[in-house]
Amino acid sequence: MKTIDAENFKGKRVIVRVDFNVPMKDGVVTDDTRIRKAIPTIKKLVEDGARVILMSHLGRPSGNGFEQDYSLEAAAVKLSNLIGRPVLYSNEIAGEGTIDKIAGMNDGDILVIENLRFDAREKKNDEAFASELASLADAYVNDAFGTAHRAHASTAGIARYLPAYAGYLLENEVKTITGMLDNPKKPFVAVLGGSKVSDKIKVIENLLDKADTIVIGGAMCFTFLKAQGAEIGSSLVEEDWVERCKEMLAKAKEIDTTLLLPVDVVCAEKIEAGVPVKVCNAFAIDSNLMGLDIGPKSIENYKKAIAEAKSVFWNGPMGVFEIDEFAAGTKAVAEALAENEEAETIIGGGDSVAAVNKFGLADKMTFISTGGGASMELVQGDVLPGVAALG
């Protein structure tokens, strides 16, 4: 994987896949984190004297042309404010207007072109569309780790037509996560949550012989608990995966990896704020109740495992943390990571990032991934198309 440090791009037109898929309200960017993360790569190219063309997707437009609600113009304005210099914008992707704007660029100029997903060919990795994007530039840089697991025209197809490089963000994400997998500081603890074990099964299987302890929370724990004969009430369970969970529990025991499950859970009849809650034994939940967070004894067990770790990977909440009654487990995990100052703590994107932000602990983590789906695919051992294309 060649990186941008391998080249001086002076005078070259460089098209960069960034991740400007940012939250918007009334045409204004409400969270500029992803834009900020792209700035080091943009600055390097600008300082080289490149003519920098930025492309991204935003939201889920229909793919049938321009839609004002999904325009990247506001992202261009926000980038200009953050970087302290003018940023050009084109309301087209690779049309004549964009071609004319690029022709008028000077060395060091920055242009944001319109939302790639206004053209349905982007998600189809269409050859003609990839070729059109490539025709705008002399070199290609991918700095959008959050979409690196997608084989789209802007992440994979375009690299067939241009010299291709990794930006600083993409490089750092891949090195950090693969480094954790290949050579973790021991003890290595993986904390996995979320609603469905089927979403994390390959992650768990790949981590079984790498981690010393795998901590399981969220609704996915109930499929494991049922595999051990627990009465789980009306908790979410994936019946089709019970046998697979039995196999993983047996393998963990065989190879001496600790697979840590809740011993108690916070239960309620429905997922609502203000409902009565009850702490239940994880193996004996009342038939009318569902588990919605890990309980106090489980919290202490999980905190102890994290406190003893030298490296921790976390992806997925311990419960329905958006509701205060079911947030204690997720908050406790976030606090335990923050308190272990000796450990390398890696947050694998998605809801875990939302959690550390909600609890004001983001600055206490070693590394926060910008790509939930991409980081999960990397952890489960998959090749990311957007990374493979740079090889």
Q: Per the annotation, where are the binding residues for ATP?
A: 200, 291, 322, 349-352
DSSP β-ladder status, 344-347 and 367-368: parallel
Radius of gyration of the chain (CA): 23
Binding residues: 19-21, 34, 57-60, 117, 150, 200, 291, 322, 349-352
27 is catalytic: no
For the CA atoms of 353, 355, 361, 362, the dihedral, rounded to the nearest 10 degrees, stands at: 10
Catalytic position from the list 12, 13, 17, 34: 34
Catalytic position from the list 124, 196, 246, 310: 196
* Rounded Cα gap, residues 271 and 383, in angstroms: 37
360 is catalytic: no
β-pair partners for 142? 17, 166
* Rounded Cα gap, residues 379 and 204, in angstroms: 9
> What are the DSSP calls for 168-189, one per residue?
HHHHHHHHHHHHHHHSPPSSEE
Burial class (CB in 10 A: 0-12, 13-18, 19+), 3: middle
Q: Which among 81, 82, 99 has a CA at the least distance from the CA of 90?
A: 99
Query: Is the omega angle on the peptide bond into residue 163 within 30 degrees of 0, that is, cis?
Result: no
Catalytic position from the list 49, 63, 108, 373: 373
Catalytic position from the list 146, 319, 350, 372: 350
329 is catalytic: no
Cα–Cα separations (whole angstroms), residue 350 to 15, 31, 265: 27, 15, 23
Cα–Cα separations (whole angstroms), residue 344 to 70, 179, 275, 290: 37, 11, 37, 34
310 is catalytic: no
Binding residues for (2R)-3-phosphoglycerate: 34, 117, 150
**Other beta carbons within 10 Å of 234:** 16
Binding residues for substrate: 19-21, 34, 57-60, 117, 150
Q: Which three-class secondary structure state does DSSP give residue 109?
A: coil
Cα–Cα separations (whole angstroms), residue 193 to 215, 329, 330: 8, 11, 9
Active site residues: 34, 196, 350, 373
